[in-house]
Structure 1
Amino acid sequence: MTFQPVIPFGGFVGWRFLERTMDAQKTAYDASPAIKRDQAYFRENIGKVTSAEALVADRRLLSVALGAFGLDDDINNRFFIQKVLADGVESDDALANKLADKSYLKFAEAFGFGGEDAPNSQKPDFADGILDAYKTRQFEIAVGNQNDDMRLVMNLTRELGELAGSDSSNNAKWYGVMGSEPLRTVFETTFGLPSSFAALDIDKQLEVFRDRAESVFGSGEVDQFAIPEKMEELTRLFLIRSQLANSSAAYSPASTALTLLQNAVY
């Protein structure tokens, strides 16, 4: 039986509880039989894979490989995934370099197919890195099944921290935020942006993100979130505003009318 994370509270209080118990809960989750079986199979067989075609042909291996990069939903998109992997990352025309979601770029880069050298799957320590990422992502999914806001914050802590500390320009970092659905969701919620915001011209979105960040956090730079206090402030504001939005939706006129109708029926 797979361990189910325990999150007794919502909002920032719930996040504090999860933070305090994270190590113990993740250890229990990693010990679940299904997770251990996935690890054993991947570790035993990934070294035999020398091409993108071979990887997508083995659904169990592919499931772990995709799961390590948060791409679980692409498990049935075999042709697309094979193209991403086979193109590699060295050419500007490679598919992974053209996609807005840079998870595909990291995925293709990690496996190293499509280049002149042997793929990274042949390296002795390759499985360790992929499995560490896989266990982290799968635990996040399990947390998200209990409370999706907590999953978003876990992703935020990992992904935004990495992005903020990178050598990219500030504009490139904001484009990275916009290209990541979980990060975009956190910032749009924190800044109170409508669902239609993503339909705006990309340069206009960049301008709005920078302006809102300046107004709320005192700086329009993504770099600021490498500072723990700034990351905590972002986390707190996101969770508060997400709770408020959910509470408003729960008590909207439409939901009140539905509740009255249901009570009338029963």
Structure 2
Amino acid sequence: MSFQPVIPFSGAAGWSFLQRTKETQQTAFESSAVLQRDVKYFEEKIGNIDTAEQLVSDRRLLSVALGAYGLNDDINNTYFIQKVLEDGTIDPSALSNKLSDKRYYEMAKDFGFGDLGIPSTQISDFGVKTIDSYKERQFEIAVGNQSQDMRLAMSLERDLSNIINKTTSESGKWFSVMGNPPLRQVFETALGLPTSFGTLDIDKQLGIFQEKSERYFGDQTVDQFKDPDRLDELTRLFLARSQIAQGAAAYSSNSIALTLLQNI
């Protein structure tokens, strides 16, 4: 039986515990025989892959590749993934440029099947980088089996850093946040935005994200979160609001059940 992460508390207390024990818990998790076999297989085989078709035809390789970008659920959508990879990212009409979820864009760019004369699979350290990301995200999934909030909090620093380091405008960075489902969920929860928020015009959403960010953190930019203290504020606000929302939902369900029992 593989190691399962331990998270004894919810909210800020659980987050503090996870931060203290993450290194030890992740090391134990990565010692799993199944994970070790998948990693070894990827290391040995990825250098032989020259095309997107070859990658999607090998389910074990594809599982690790998708897992490195948090796209595990697409393991059976091989035609779609092949199309994303083959189109690349340079052509404005490429599929990855049309998808709101920009994790597909990052995957297509990193693998380079549609953009480069020689794909990144032929670069010596490509497999190592992909495996590191895969192991990190697999641990996050295991954490998510215990607490989805903790999984989202764990991915926050990495995903935000990737966006902050882009050479694009502040508006572009906010659009990247909106195009990353886990990040979007964290921000919507932390800023107290309703579930219907995503149905608004995209430019309207941008304005609200900026206005709410300035109200809660004193700055409307995404770049502010490269400050560890500001990132910690965001994380703790997300966890607090999520915990409150879950408590309210549980209270509401209990109230409904009590009302039904009283009317029997």
Classify the TM-score, shorter chain.
over 0.9
Q: How does 1:180-191 map to 2 (within 5 A)?
A: 180-191=180-191
Contact 2:198 2:205 in 1 (8 A): yes
**Cα 1:262/1:64, change in 2 over 3 Å:** farther
Deviation of residue 167 (structure 1)? 2.5
**Does residue 1:66 correspond to 2:66, yes or no?**
yes
Residue 222 (structure 2) aligns with = 222
**Range with greater deviation from structure 2 (87-96 or 237-246):** 87-96
The separation in 2 between residues aligned to 1:106 and 1:57, in whole angstroms, is: 21
Amino acid of the residue matched to residue 40 of structure 2?
A: A
Contact 2:149 2:239 in 1 (8 A): yes
Residue 31 (structure 2) aligns with = 31
Deviation of residue 88 (structure 1)? 1.5
Amino acid of the residue matched to residue 234 of structure 1?
A: L
- Aligned-pair identity in percent equals 55
Amino acid of the residue matched to residue 30 of structure 1?
A: E
The separation in 1 between residues aligned to 2:94 and 2:67, in whole angstroms, is: 22
Residue 196 (structure 1) aligns with = 196
The separation in 2 between residues aligned to 1:160 and 1:124, in whole angstroms, is: 27
The separation in 2 between residues aligned to 1:178 and 1:89, in whole angstroms, is: 19
Deviation of residue 169 (structure 1)? 1.0
The separation in 2 between residues aligned to 1:39 and 1:116, in whole angstroms, is: 25
The separation in 1 between residues aligned to 2:254 and 2:179, in whole angstroms, is: 33
Aligned-partner SS, 1:17: helix
Structure 2 residues not aligned, in runs of 5+: none
Deviation of residue 106 (structure 1)? 1.0
Amino acid of the residue matched to residue 105 of structure 2?
A: L
Structure 1 residues not aligned, in runs of 5+: none
**Aligned-pair RMSD on alpha carbons?**
1.7
**Does residue 1:22 correspond to 2:19, yes or no?**
no
Contact 1:102 1:179 in 2 (8 A): yes
Aligned-partner SS, 1:113: coil
Residue 258 (structure 1) aligns with = 257
Aligned-partner SS, 1:251: helix
**Cα 1:116/1:244, change in 2 over 3 Å:** closer
Residue 234 (structure 2) aligns with = 234
Deviation of residue 257 (structure 1)? 2.7
**Cα 1:40/1:188, change in 2 over 3 Å:** same
| Aligned residues between the structures | 264
- Give the TM-score of the pair, scaled to structure 2: 0.95
Q: Deviations over 1:145-184 (max 9, x none)?
A: 0000000001111111232243321111111111111111
Amino acid of the residue matched to residue 227 of structure 1?
A: D
**Cα 1:245/1:116, change in 2 over 3 Å:** closer
Aligned-partner SS, 2:133: helix
Deviation of residue 115 (structure 1)? 3.6
Q: Deviations over 1:93-120 (max 9, x none)?
A: 2111222211111101111102452211
The separation in 2 between residues aligned to 1:124 and 1:223, in whole angstroms, is: 32
Deviation of residue 256 (structure 1)? 2.2
**Cα 1:96/1:167, change in 2 over 3 Å:** same
**Cα 1:243/1:115, change in 2 over 3 Å:** closer
